[in-house]
């Protein structure tokens, strides 16, 4: 049953099925990080993106988006696997720049403040 749930599947599975030498069970492992890095580099090139980016850049973007979306920093800490919240707080420096663009919850309601009048 557990092997049928999303949590037990690799986000980036290997294209090769292998056999576990201890159990004899066939399955897929994860991609090697180097293979994913090469694929990202190729995708950036094909998309015409000249900015340097790594797989870690994707992790950074994900964490930043979660925080900007209002996800609690402790939740982001857990998702990233950081043992100390101060490591996760590195991602919050972007939030200071974005705070000027923050929309009040009242303004984001349908009709804005006029809906309250």
pLDDT digits (tens, 9 = 90+) for 57-111: 888 888 888 888 889 999 999 988 889 988 888 877 766 655 556 666 666 666 5
Check: CB of residue 95 under 8 Å from CB of residue 67. Answer: yes
Check: CB of residue 74 under 8 Å from CB of residue 84. Answer: no
Q: What pLDDT shows up at residue 3?
A: 63
pLDDT digits (tens, 9 = 90+) for 21-43: 899 988 888 777 788 899 999 99
Nearest to 79 by CA among 101, 102, 63: 63
Q: 7 vs 79, which has greater pLDDT?
A: 79
Q: What is the pTM of this model?
A: 0.55
> Where do we find the tokens 């303004």?
107
Q: What pLDDT shows up at residue 86?
A: 87
HSE of 5 in the Cβ direction (CA atoms, 13 Å)? 4
Residue 109: both structure tokens together = 């309601």
């Amino acid at each position: 049953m557990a092997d049928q749930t999303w949590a037990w599947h690799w986000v980036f599975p290997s294209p090769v099925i292998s056999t576990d030498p201890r159990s004899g069970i066939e399955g897929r492992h994860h991609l090697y990080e180097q293979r994913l890095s090469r694929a990202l580099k190729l995708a950036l090139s094909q998309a015409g993106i000249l900015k340097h980016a790594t797989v870690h850049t994707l992790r950074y973007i994900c964490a930043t988006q979660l925080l900007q979306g209002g996800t609690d920093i402790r939740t982001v800490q857990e998702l990233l696997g950081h043992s100390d919240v101060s490591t996760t707080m590195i991602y919050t420096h972007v939030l200071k720049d974005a705070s000027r663009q923050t929309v009040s919850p009242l303004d984001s309601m349908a009709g804005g403040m006029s809906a309250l009048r």
